[in-house]
Structure 1
Amino acid sequence: MRVPKFMPARSIAVIIVAAGKGERAAGGHADPKQYRKVGGRAVLQRTIEAFLAVEAVTQIVPVIHADHAEKYRALGLDDPRLLAPVTGGASRQASVLEGLKALAPSRPDRVLIQDAARPFASAKLIGEVIAALDQHDGALPVLPVTDTIKRSLDGISVSTTEDRQQLFAAQTPQGFRFGPIISAHMRSGTVRREFTDDAEIAEWAGLRVAMVEGERDNIKITHPEDFARAERILQGQSRMETRIGTGYDVHPFEPGDGVWLCGVKIPHHAKLQGHSDADVALHALTDAILGSIGEGDIGMHFPPSDMQWKGAASSVFLRHAGELVKQRGGRIVNLDVTIVAEAPRIAKHVPAMCAAIAEVLGVSASRVAVKATTNEKLGFIGREEGIVAIASASVEVPGLD
């Protein structure tokens, strides 16, 4: 039996630093590097979507240049966890501080700080940085330095050779406990020194910063030739492909005072019979999502013989199916549910139903459609003995071939 993983409640915010002009990587292009496309999508869009794919992330604040508001809007990003962008400062350090200030009212437990120009941070890497914060004030991904490093005092002749066994190249996301890092950033403004990254500010403030293993593909796009490397990375990764799944469920009526449909309770002279809350629509939709990724059906994950699911809200099942999509690096493209019933009438409840589904899955309500029809008085549905739901799900996941 597969048991869904329930993570402890914890707020984890992300700051995406995208306030630079990206001039070094311009290469004759009018757009700053974070708005140039790699594999058909803007670098900044890919970076944000990498964090939206991680369920543990609760909010994301982009920090953008004052002149780039229209470019950012043109990305068309839409997710309830994505906050309105804030304007950055004259330096990266100042921009991060603006992001921290924007998050201060919600006071998240943890904060990850990510360069917009690193679009390939994996969910695994992000998760390891988050996990390290359980034991440390800060954490960052690093790679061991493999080249021999020479130090020169005048830029002409070699002064000494560094011990590369003690040298590591830092990447982002860099993660911190929120209170200590915002305090460190506020105090860092009082010294005449430009810090190279947030981990250096944490070190200066006396915080304990741990290292986790970085990733070779987690490159920072800095120079024009880096775009060609980014395209090669994408070509080497599994290409995204669209999968379609369908679901069907039926539940009979029994005495009661209302039916659960798409996470909304609708008053009625009967209720639906079932082991859980008998939300026939969410059951069909859960099966559709599971089918799209080849994960069987709802009964495999939540057996009716298991009493822990007795009377459970069907949103638990739907959320689990959505988590499985995210674990595969995928995303939900759109969902379509058709409810077949003579009664109750659901038209006025459709907006609430779409909103409920969207909230459970962390997608925009515009990606959800709920419709209803009757069976023209025919069969068991026509006799008002039960309700049928049919659903389809379209998801995008990395290809397996």
Structure 2
Amino acid sequence: MTAPASTAVLIVAAGRGHRFGGELPKQYAQLRGAPVLSHTLRAFLKHPDVTHVVTAIHPDDRELYDAAAQASGAGEKLLPPTHGGAERQDSVRFGLEALEALSPSKVLIQDGARPLASAGLITRVIDALDKHAAALPCVAVTDTLKRVADGLVGETVDRTGLARAQTPQGFRYNNILAAHRAVAGDALTDDAAVAEHAKMAIGLVDGAEDNLKITTQDDLMRADGLIAARLGDVRTGSGFDVHKFDAPGTASEIMLCGIPVPHDCDTVGHSDADVGLHALTDAILGSIGAGDIGEHFPPSDPQWRGAASWKFLAHAASLVAERGGVIASADITIICERPKVGPHRPAMRKRVAEILSIAEDRVSVKATTTEALGFTGRREGIAAQAVATVRLPLTAEL
């Protein structure tokens, strides 16, 4: 019996991106609240036909990569990264060699700074490898082309038969690995050029105008707009949580929105009883129709006894990411007489934003009392309500 066909993906993200500017390489710049690379990774990790993903990174970028991988949702498909080389071609070869033990049938090679590859495009490239040794997505050249020199315009170039090459570029794994080893040390512009050198037949597949490569700050702004246009399914969820207080003197602090806040009464709960994060977790789960916190983290399960509630919130955020969505805003209202929330609100907003990997100005934390009425007015407990807005893809991607 032959082993089932597998499709690996190599993300090339070891470059420095000098034309982009800024403090970080372009693959780690923020795009809609997450690193560019996290969007690239997510597109392939969620594709049902992709079995493994490996990333070639610069040796100095491991912490940046780990943050991007976490924001992508990661999962079992994502393999440990490999180090890139001095040139892109070296990085690709090292990445291909890192996959050798897995012996994939097919491999897709993708630029780390090309975050908008759609599921349809990925499928087209994978399917083309059933007929061809290599597959190249291209977009026809529609602009008039001019040859220029020394600041002057020369002749018009005939654009007939010309196309713009994109990634992911697909190959039968053994063929492209051998081809890269054969040209080690040469300077070829992309992996299709390596395939050309090896005399492979390269099949053409339709690329996509939205599948842009981020090279400049303007490209980043355009990518932001394209993602916003895709995320047209706006949803809102609400959450509410209550925890009672233990007797005075049982504690010196309680957890509120991920921050320890001084208080003389402990909150009673199975986890760390953070009402703010519990309410927000339920709001996010509700926005995507994913049940409530008790379904994902049952109080009857001893592994969650005393657990940090940020783990619950991060899980809810990961479910949004798995659906290709983003969290647009989070609004929490804490209801109690004591402790005083105001002095801690900036830290709470910052912590919630960190957990959700969104900007602080997308998080609101407020507090109110019940004017000494009810159980909160009698200081018997604390409550919180939250509203979350998420944006999900509206239609199937092309």
Q: Is TM (by shorter chain) over 0.5?
A: yes
1:319-365 CA distance string (max 9 Å, x none): xxxxxxxxxxxx9999936999xxxx9989xxxxxxxxxxxxxx99x
Match in the other structure for 1:257: none
CA distance in 2, matches of 1:59, 1:332: 30
Shift of 1:399: 4.3
Asked if residue 54 in structure 1 is aligned to residue 64 in structure 2, the reply is no
Match in the other structure for 1:14: 9
SS at match of 2:9: strand
Candidates 207, 221, 234, aligned match of 1:228: 221
Candidates 158, 167, 177, aligned match of 1:163: 158
Candidates 123, 146, 152, aligned match of 1:150: 146
Asked if residue 138 in structure 1 is aligned to residue 137 in structure 2, the reply is no
Aligned residue pairs total: 262
SS at match of 2:53: strand
CA distance in 1, matches of 2:294, 2:52: 24
Asked if residue 24 in structure 1 is aligned to residue 19 in structure 2, the reply is yes
CA distance in 2, matches of 1:176, 1:229: 30
2:295 partner amino acid: D
SS at match of 2:205: strand
Shift of 1:163: 2.2
Match in the other structure for 2:87: 91
Asked if residue 124 in structure 1 is aligned to residue 120 in structure 2, the reply is yes
1:116-159 CA distance string (max 9 Å, x none): 1100000000000000000001111110001122335x555556
SS at match of 1:13: strand
The runs of 5 or more residues in structure 1 that have no matched partner are 1-7, 245-290, 295-330, 349-362, 368-394
Q: Is the 8 A contact 1:14 1:57 kept in 2?
A: yes
Candidates 195, 214, 217, aligned match of 2:210: 217
SS at match of 1:164: coil
Candidates 66, 69, 94, aligned match of 2:62: 69
Shift of 1:37: 0.7
CA distance in 1, matches of 2:27, 2:94: 19
The runs of 5 or more residues in structure 2 that have no matched partner are 238-285, 304-317, 323-389
Shift of 1:19: 0.1
SS at match of 2:228: helix
The residue correspondences of 1:358-373 to structure 2 (distance < 5 A) are: none
Q: Is the 8 A contact 2:235 2:391 kept in 1?
A: yes
SS at match of 1:185: helix
Shift of 1:75: 2.6
Match in the other structure for 2:295: 336
SS at match of 2:295: strand
Asked if residue 107 in structure 1 is aligned to residue 66 in structure 2, the reply is no
The change in CA–CA distance for 1:335 and 1:79 in structure 2 (over 3 A counts) is farther
Match in the other structure for 2:170: 175
1:226 partner amino acid: D
**Percent pairwise identity:** 43
Q: Which TM-score applies when normalising by structure 1?
A: 0.58
Q: Is the 8 A contact 2:231 2:391 kept in 1?
A: no
1:91 partner amino acid: E
2:31 partner amino acid: V
1:107 partner amino acid: S
Shift of 1:33: 0.7
The change in CA–CA distance for 1:44 and 1:337 in structure 2 (over 3 A counts) is closer
2:82 partner amino acid: V
The residue correspondences of 1:179-194 to structure 2 (distance < 5 A) are: 179-189=174-184, 193-194=186-187
Q: Is the 8 A contact 1:333 1:396 kept in 2?
A: no
Asked if residue 43 in structure 1 is aligned to residue 36 in structure 2, the reply is yes
CA distance in 1, matches of 2:17, 2:151: 29
Shift of 1:32: 1.1
Q: Is the 8 A contact 1:332 1:396 kept in 2?
A: no
Q: Is the 8 A contact 1:21 1:32 kept in 2?
A: yes
Q: Is the 8 A contact 2:113 2:214 kept in 1?
A: yes
CA distance in 1, matches of 2:54, 2:225: 29
Shift of 1:61: 0.3
Shift of 1:66: 1.0
Q: Is the 8 A contact 1:59 1:83 kept in 2?
A: yes
Q: Is the 8 A contact 2:231 2:392 kept in 1?
A: no
Q: Is the 8 A contact 2:230 2:394 kept in 1?
A: no
